Structure 1
Amino acid sequence: MSYVLSGKRSISASTRARVERSIAQLGYHPNAGARALASSRSNIIALMIPLRTDMYLPVMMEIAIAVATTARGHGYDVLLLTGEEGPAAVRRIEGSALADAMILMDVELEDDRLPLLREASRPGVLIGLPADPAGLSCVDLDFEAAGALCAEHLAGLGHREIAVIGEAAAVYERHTGFAERTLNGLRERSGELGLRLLHRPCEGSYAAVAATLARVYDERPGTTAFVVQNEAATDPLLALLRQQGRAVPEDVSVMAICPDQLAAHASVPLTSVAVPAQKMGRHAVEQVVAKLEGRAADGVVLLAPELTVRESTGPRPVPVPPVSPR
């Protein structure tokens, strides 16, 4: 019976069926604690996801669910660590039998957890990309390429003045990898294409978006397109533009870097570069399981960005010349 439950040896279909019938009749469930004692492993993967007020929780939870379901498929449970403990959380896992491996999220460019992770005896994988990924296993969307893709799409429609509604200021103050890399990609490609780019952080509330929008038009009245990397800001931005009589996309184009579901169900379906949360979570687990099983794990996996054109982007509006008095 143990071979059927563990899957460690090949069993004939008829034998497997008989054993599974007996298991169902007896109401037997494998004891995870006993398994862990027998193998000197906990069969647990620690997922470190510091929950901050400036984070968009639905995306983080989508990644966490993908991690948990993929881990379960490999026979592991997931321990969720949500405190802002930084290196202390890595030390806690490394110095205890709480978990066999670690997956770290909310990665900063100069993340202070990384020196400990490099020296740890327990395998670790980052969902995110630091400035120096040497000696680390990482999986992330290629956010620099995502930013460049946004610039290319809007330039192709004739736009020349673009505003970026970014994450909350604290995200940039921490030098969070995904936000910094997106901005780098946008700036570099915009420079190559001759675009004027204005970036403004935003808290994401209706009042904050209203203030940011007013500031953008005060500084750059010729702005004809927005790139939004702040999921909470998308609906307020569309509502405010509508209230100001700016039609999307006839008067102004809006695109976002966000989950497909959010983009597709916006009041104006948004052209977007998808954040593949589930794919990122699955890749991270596959990498950490490969390490646990002694197989070679990829160093850095950057997922190629995918652009979906919907109803929110269109050609740059042609300025209407003033009518001369007769």
Structure 2
Amino acid sequence: MAGRGVTIADVAARAGVAASTVSYVLSGKRSISPETADRVMAAVADLGYHPHAGARSLASRRAGVIAMMLPLREGMHLPVLMQFASGAVTEARRHDQDVLLMTADEGPAGLARVAASAIVDGLILMDVELADPRVDALRRLGLPSVLMGIPEDAEGLTCVDLDFTAAGRVCVDYLAQRGCGDVVLLGAPEAVYARRTSFALRVRDGFLGRGGPSAEAWACPEDPVSVQRTVKELLAAKPDLTGLAVHNEPAVGHVMHALADAGKRVGEDFHVVVIGPDEVAERTHPQLPSVLIPAEVMAETAVRHLTRKLDGVDVPDLTLIEPQLTLR
């Protein structure tokens, strides 16, 4: 039934509600219970309902808007997210597009809502999980999209990302070149791993795969007290530790304070490398080497791919940006 033949009555029947309720959910003109709204949005996604697709075709024009789903949730560093948003907005304006920001907690229902309302031409998704529930919704909805991240099943999708697996390997190689035997990745908060977020797991896989039996990965919280406790426990558990890779932007400064409190001389008998923005690594004393997360470049690339798809131009299924290590 998916496609242009689907009507609002079909959606209502699938959701078990009145057609007017479907209209209210899609328009937002009346308050509908979350449970009912979820049923309606699930029906919209299942049936591939596009109420204005015909009108848009007749008008031979686009909405001029792309949606970007930002992960404003636990474990995500807001300044970095704003770099992604800035890159997307800047590049979108070069293509006469505006950007509608959504939050990742809207999930498949949020995708169905914007697709059904026909207010956007395409979608950019961030914080992609390995088994991301939004992927099936994207395939059902048929709206042009680009993922900044790589799910396990990427068939038929367009994905753009930093090569995070290679980034993990780069960090191990840097530490090995400085004579570090035991090395540890202080990674994202546990909640990020629990969601099976693609980028965090790929960094961990690259780090552990390159580091051999002497490498470990620890989840790391973000607040100062918890970071201090984690570093203290880490040093107690691994007294021969001489190298750390930190993939957790808010924790970097706290990690450095904890190492100083423990008498570690970073850059001399202990080495630290960061995966994150340059400014995070530059604010520490001493300044740290880092593998840049090129947020704006990634966002710009995603927008360019999406606009080309809207124009009917083929784009690569997978675009991986090679990690670059900056020494300081």
Would you say same fold, with TM above 0.5?
yes
Change in CA separation of 1:37 and 1:276 when aligned onto 2, cut-off 3 Å:
farther
Q: Secondary structure at the match of 1:45?
A: strand
Aligned match of 1:76: 97
Contact 1:36 1:42 in 2 (8 A): no
Residue of 276, 297, 302 corresponding to 1:258: 276
Residue of 73, 87, 110 corresponding to 2:131: 110
Identity of aligned residues (%): 41
Contact 2:74 2:191 in 1 (8 A): no
Aligned-pair CA distance for 1:98: 1.5
For residue 154 of structure 2, what is the amino acid of its counterpart?
P
Matched, 1:214 2:232: yes
Matched, 1:304 2:322: yes
Q: Secondary structure at the match of 1:289?
A: helix
CA distance in 2, matches of 1:298, 1:129: 13
Aligned match of 2:115: 94
Contact 1:106 1:176 in 2 (8 A): yes
Aligned match of 1:198: 216
Give deviations 1:26-60, integer Å, cap 9, x for gaps. Answer: xxxxxxxxx99954421000001131032101111
Contact 1:238 1:268 in 2 (8 A): no
Aligned-pair CA distance for 1:251: 2.2
Written as runs of structure 1 = structure 2, the 5 A alignment for 1:13-162 is: 38-82=59-103, 84-162=105-183
CA distance in 1, matches of 2:306, 2:85: 15
The structure carrying a bigger helix percent of its residues is 2
Contact 1:128 1:177 in 2 (8 A): yes
CA distance in 1, matches of 2:227, 2:104: 28
CA distance in 2, matches of 1:39, 1:165: 52
For residue 223 of structure 1, what is the amino acid of its counterpart?
L
CA distance in 2, matches of 1:300, 1:92: 27
Contact 2:65 2:120 in 1 (8 A): yes
Aligned-pair CA distance for 1:157: 1.5
CA distance in 2, matches of 1:166, 1:50: 18
Aligned-pair CA distance for 1:147: 0.3
CA distance in 2, matches of 1:223, 1:136: 41
CA distance in 1, matches of 2:142, 2:117: 11
Give deviations 1:156-207, integer Å, cap 9, x for gaps. Answer: 221110121111100000000000000000111112xxx5112211111111
Bigger radius of gyration among the two = 1
Q: Secondary structure at the match of 2:106?
A: coil
Aligned-pair CA distance for 1:94: 1.9
The answer to which of 170-179 and 237-246 deviates more is 237-246
**What TM-score results when the alignment is normalised by the length of structure 1?**
0.81
Aligned-pair CA distance for 1:109: 0.8
CA distance in 1, matches of 2:235, 2:312: 56
Contact 1:36 1:43 in 2 (8 A): no
Aligned match of 1:230: 248
Aligned-pair CA distance for 1:121: 2.5
Change in CA separation of 1:37 and 1:231 when aligned onto 2, cut-off 3 Å:
farther
* Consecutive aligned runs of 4 or more in structure 1 exceeding 3 Å deviation: 35-40
* Superposed CA RMSD: 1.6
Aligned match of 2:310: 292
Unpaired segments ≥5 residues, structure 1: 1-34, 311-326
Matched, 1:282 2:303: no
Aligned match of 1:320: none
Aligned-pair CA distance for 1:216: 0.7
CA distance in 2, matches of 1:245, 1:189: 28
For residue 77 of structure 1, what is the amino acid of its counterpart?
D
Contact 1:235 1:267 in 2 (8 A): no
For residue 161 of structure 1, what is the amino acid of its counterpart?
D
Aligned match of 1:189: 210
CA distance in 1, matches of 2:57, 2:219: 47
